[in-house]
Structure 1
Amino acid sequence: MTHDPGASKASTQASANLHQQCRDLLSEVDEFQDLLRRTLRNPQLVEVRQFRSSVNSELRMVEKLIENARAEGAGTGGLGGEEVEEAEKRLLHVLRSSNLPFHQAVWGVVRSSCVGLVTLGRRVYWDDGNDARSRNMPPPKDKNGKKVTGKDKRKSVLVDVVADDGEEWVKVSTMSESRLLFEMAEKGWERDSEDEFSDGEKAPRTVLRNFDDEDSDEEDELELIKLARGLRKAADATLVRYRHPRLRIVLPKIEEGNVPGIDEIVNEMRSYGVEVQCRNSLRESQQNPGLDALLPRPFKRFTPSLNVDCTLLLAAVSDLSHVKDIPVCPGYHRAVVRQIEGEKHMPLLPAELWPAMRNRELLCTSDAAARMLEIVNTIGTDTEKTRTKILMGKPPYDQLDQESLIEEFQKTSDHSVPNEWKLPIKVSDAQPAIDAAKARKTLPPVAYEVSESLSDINHSVFMYGWATGITTISSNRTIDKQIENTIEKKRNGDRDLEGPNVWVCDTARSLVGKEKNRKE
């Protein structure tokens, strides 16, 4: 039997196409990672490394197949036509079984319909015996770097895309219509369209499913139904800033409106509170925004006015935030040395705080202002004291307008101070606002328990922001998590219960003198 050169040509073309598609996808992912490195203080906040690794594995697989095919081609002189033909078929089968189309579909959904990307690929759990709401985080690792988890993988779902800064979960399924129809027939999903009640109404179809019974065997459930149900359970066990994630399943190979049975499956999926997008709706909503749209959007819930915590007031005046190339002295604490090194990599004010504050009215409570002034007057340098007076509009700067205050502040900083920075910071008395909110009962009952656990200054800052509905900005993550945990323990099934709107800056800045001559 003679060898068919057409088959060889098909495998060669398929491998070349797959190889180029892998490289194209990797190029886009690399471009995005480069954008993260250039724009974010911590590029690891957006996790795409595992996704890239998976695509790269596909590339290596294709390259190995191409290499093997060339080697085999050089040695086929003694092989019969049937053997060569069989080898070509195996190669084509492997190429067509590649996971690259799935990765392309995921990336296509990300590029066309997602903002604020958090991660590509995350397993999330429900009911693992602990507090699921605060724990859908990367698992801990042992001393060998291996993940340590006692969670039951059967009570989990793999989310392909976490977007909108954690508030949206997206799952992509490349199941085809023919595969879905086969599974429906295999598992007894039938439409009783010919059955009617005596009054002429159609009888409801009987569906093989047992997802009301937690302990039952789920083998008869359709894959897509199990997927929607699992997403719902995991989302109900997870809160992102007091809210459950929105859910979306994308089915790029399924057309809605063609097959009634498939439409019923789609509607069943939607009954779990999941948005389902089929191929026709994807075409209608397709966009191609730039990669910038995928960057985190930390300020999206900011109010027009911001309540500034003492920690960030100090960061705004610290020499560490304004003086480039501060020499590292032997007496500096390790934390200050880390902050100096951090400033060299990505300065806090230009990269994070000024963009957060820009064009917004800045407020602070009288307690926060008093504490900040106490610290600066005790250990601040002369320039830190000057910046504090300008920032707070203290004499001799109390009669200056915003433009003049910016000019004076610029004299003390090596960075370009934005003209949109609204100085001075206005000081407010927190307690009257808190008392008024309690009197009007605009705060939930749990607010009383929250307030009792806070120190005087934290009570002033965080309760003031909550009472007035103003975003509080702080670097005090410990207090923010303490408030969140208290609220979650007292939620009692209230899905609408929310705590204060707090934005936490991951990086703080000490005053230079704060850590001098302190022992480690």
Structure 2
Amino acid sequence: MGSLDISDSFNGHVESAKDYEGESHVLDMQQRARLLLEELEQFQTYLKEKKKEDTVHLSSFKTDVQHELKLLEKFSNMDATDEKAAHTLRSSNFTFFDYVWSTAKTCTGVTAIRKWFSLHPKGRTPAHNRAQNRSYVTMVDIVAQNGSEWVKVSSVTEKRIIWDLAKAGYAASSDDDDDYQEEIDDSIGLVKQVKTLIQASSSTRVRYRHPTIRLVLPRVRKDGHKQVRDVLDQIRALGVIVQTEEDIPRSAPVAEVLPQIAADRFASFSATINLDCTVLLAFVSDLSHGRVEPKDWHNKDIARQIRLEAEDQLLPNSLWPACGERKLVCTREAAIRMHEIVNIIGTETEKKRAALLIDQGDDDKTHLTSAQRIEEFQKLSDYQIPPNWNLPVAVIDIDLDSIKSSLPPVVTEVEKLLININQSVFLYGWSAGQTTMSSNGSVAKSIEAKIEENRVHDSDSGPDIWLCPTSRSLVGKEKERRKP
């Protein structure tokens, strides 16, 4: 599909009633809506190709745009100068949606467009009318930076802000009166919207942090009326980033920015990745390296993992891209545990992979270079091993007591949740500031919950844990699987 460019509608910015009157025909607006939908289709196709379609919430936004297009199509045979058609154009939400999409194309790591968020912490929303009452939720136009930034796009004009101020009884001030700045309350719609977003953000955490808020105003100038500047200054004082017409980057055709706007959790990974034992086992398992024929002695978990691997290959689609060229490490405890499991129930090919993945110090693999290990690994896999996979995994000896003393006091509560091997893995990754890669979802969630329960300071954080989409067991051998 050829690249599309619907950016002109955004980069012109100021669209007053005259803009609508200048439309030669309702078809012009319909065409813009169709182009927007085609770009959304391109984005969704790209996400599907990258196995990321479930990571980005687009459905409600797409439905909204489709609805606007249907309304516009009702007037396809009417001239834009017709009063009814002109009113339809003026009242249409499409121009706002166009602003939202154009802004989204300038963002990085978009995970949602037009998504509702609660104003209250999870579990604290008043019970009555919780599902229906929108006074308990607010709409975020764009969720970017993999969830850590919320973007509010407003099509409000300077004239509307001044009108709201006058309606609320705020006295007009001279542009020369730089010392005068009257406190603006929530009766001003823009201020109320921003404060509502701040409330929702304060009830939401993404990797232990509240999302930051950015306000995009494509129809407001930086050097506009003094009263408008005062309102924007007070919004900035709330910790919100404000972008006026001059600050907004040019929006490009979506084909040029697909890798940028697609959510990429890997971009926030540390330069060194700490591997949990569950991931080490996934790297050596026969289940992760090609088709394994189902056997009658396979348990339900193995049978399920065979089906999952056939549908979505874990290493090529998740773990290897997550690793990239980064240095890979694991604790001594994780390495020992992995080798213990492999030695007991692993197949011969699983044992060979384990020896290539992590040196045991007493085998004939210690002299191999990274390239040689990858070459040997390739003989044991149906998949193409990435040449930049950083083998072997380095083994780290740790002093657990020293690590605990370096962490925040909440570690005393967190360690109670963890068996020894998990203490070594997750507390080490936490203290070293490294992303820990794991498939142990229950442990990761319990750690995060415990830190939230015992939070003392707003800046308190815990280990950065990335959960791979599914786990992989060793295939094992029949006699071991049949032991009581």
Query: TM-score with structure 1 length normalisation?
Result: 0.81
The alignment yields a C-alpha RMSD, in angstroms, of 2.8
Shift in alpha-carbon separation, 1:377–1:268, aligned structure 2, 3 A: same
Q: Secondary structure at the match of 2:364?
A: coil
CA contact (8 A) 1:22 1:59 kept: yes
Equivalent residues of 1:192, 1:205 under 8 A apart: no
| Distance (Å, rounded) in 2 between the aligned partners of 1:28 and 1:150 | 32
Q: Paired residue for 1:59?
A: 69
In the alignment, the residues of structure 1 paired with residue 280 and residue 333 of structure 2 have an alpha-carbon distance, to the nearest angstrom, of 12
Identity of matched residues, %: 37
Residues 403 and 428 in structure 2, CA contact (< 8 A), matched pair in contact too: no
Whichever residue aligns with residue 28 of structure 1, its letter is E
The farther-off stretch of 331-340 and 299-308 is 331-340
Alignment of 1:398-437 (within 5 A): 398-430=366-398, 432=399, 434-437=400-403
Aligned residue among 423, 437, 448 for 1:459: 423
| Secondary structure of the corresponding residue to residue 171 of structure 1 | strand
1:252 Cα offset (Å): 0.8
Higher Cα Rg, which structure = 1
Give the residue type in structure 2 aligned to 1:27. E
Instruction: Quote the offset at 1:287 in angstroms.
Output: 5.3
1:158 Cα deviation (Å)?
Answer: 0.8
Q: 2:279 aligns with which of 312, 317, 331?
A: 312
1:373-396 deviation digits (Å, cap 9, x = unpaired): 222222222211111111113423
Q: Deviations over 1:308-363 (max 9, x none)?
A: 1011011101111111x333445444443443333333321112211222322221
1:252 to 212, 218, 223: 218
| Structure 1 residue 164, shift from structure 2 partner | 0.2
After superposition, the Cα gap between the structure-2 partners of 1:203 and 1:473, relative to the gap in structure 1 and judged at 3 Å, is: closer
Q: Deviation of residue 49 (structure 1)?
A: 1.3
Q: Given that residues 158 and 224 in structure 2 are in contact (C-alpha distance below 8 angstroms), is that contact kept between their aligned partners in structure 1?
A: no
Deviation at 1:460, TM superposition (A): 1.3
Match of 2:29 among 3, 8, 18: 18
Report the number of matched residues. Answer: 454
In 2, Cα distance between the equivalents of 1:15 and 1:337? 57
Q: Which one-letter code corresponds to 2:288 in the other structure? A: S
Matched, 1:90 2:92: no
Whole-angstrom distance in 1 between the partners of 2:236 and 2:432: 37
Q: In the alignment, is residue 205 of structure 1 matched against residue 173 of structure 2? A: no
CA contact (8 A) 1:14 1:95 kept: no
Indicate yes or no: 2:166 matched with 1:185: yes
* 1:123 corresponding residue in structure 2: 116
Contact 1:126 1:155 in 2 (8 A): yes
Contact 1:14–1:92 at 8 Å: present in 2 too? no
- Range with greater deviation from structure 2 (356-365 or 250-259): 356-365
Deviates more, 1:86-95 or 1:338-347: 86-95
1:48 aligns with one of 58, 74, 81: 58
| 1:356-367 correspondence to structure 2 within 5 Å | 356-367=322-333
Q: Would you say 1:162 and 2:143 are equivalent positions?
A: yes
**SS in structure 2 of the partner of residue 276 of structure 1:** strand
Q: How far apart, CA to CA, are the structure 1 residues paired with 2:142 and 2:80? A: 39
Aligned equivalents of 1:100, 1:155: Cα separation in 2: 26
SS class of match (1:412): coil
Aligned to 1:277: 243
Q: Give TM-score, length-normalised by structure 2.
A: 0.86
Q: In the alignment, is the contact (CA less than 8 A) between 1:393 and 1:423 conserved in 2?
A: no
Counterpart position of 2:189: 223
CA distance in 1, matches of 2:42, 2:131: 37
Query: What whole-Å deviation, never above 9, does each CA across 1:228-283 have from its counterpart, x for those lacking one?
Result: 1111111111111011111001111111212001111111111211111111222x
Letter in 2 for 1:365: T
Deviations 1:166-191 (A, max 9, x none): 00000111112222222221111224
**Quick check: 1:307–1:465 contact (8 Å CA) kept in 2?**
yes
Residue 65 of structure 1 aligns to a residue whose secondary structure is: coil
- Asked whether the equivalents of residues 19 and 63 of structure 1 are also in contact (C-alpha less than 8 Å), the reply is yes
Matches within 5 A, 1:132-171: 149=130, 153-171=134-152
Gaps of 5+ in 2: 1-20
Task: Kindly provide the amino acid, as one letter, of the partner of residue 378 in structure 1.
Answer: I
1:235 and 1:34 mapped to 2: Cα distance?
30
Q: Which runs of 5+ in 1 are unaligned?
A: 1-9, 71-84, 133-138, 140-147, 212-220
Q: Give, in angstroms, the shift of residue 468 of structure 1.
A: 2.3
Q: CA deviation at 1:165?
A: 0.3
Q: Secondary structure at the match of 2:265?
A: coil
Would you say the 8 A contact 1:125–1:151 is kept in 2? Answer: no
Letter in 1 for 2:29: L
- Name the structure 1 match of 2:464: 501
